[in-house]
Amino acid sequence: MEITKRNGNVVLFDSEKVKNSILKANAESHFESISEGKAAAMAQQVFDAVSDSKNQVKTTQDVTDCVCAILKENLYLDTAAKYLAYAQAKAAK
């Protein structure tokens, strides 16, 4: 599946990058702990959800929204907040 980045470049979806970003956000949380296996499973959920979406063009924002939703679904609320803050900071660059 292809993802259109904010700068317009098109890249292949990389579940490893999603997993690592979840783990990095979780490392900033003092209240929650996500194992590498759980992060990989959530990255797969993100892939499945984004690839099933009706949008023809999949964007970085679609992935970000989906990661946040899945983190919240799994009750990793602090990690979701850290992930969103990181994504917003990155988008502002």
Tens digits of residue pLDDT in 24-43: 999 999 989 999 999 999 99
Q: What per-residue confidence (pLDDT) applies to 14?
A: 95
Burial class of residue 48 (count of CB atoms within 10 Å of its CB; 0-12, 13-18, 19+): exposed
Q: What per-residue confidence (pLDDT) applies to 54?
A: 75
Q: What per-residue confidence (pLDDT) applies to 93?
A: 72
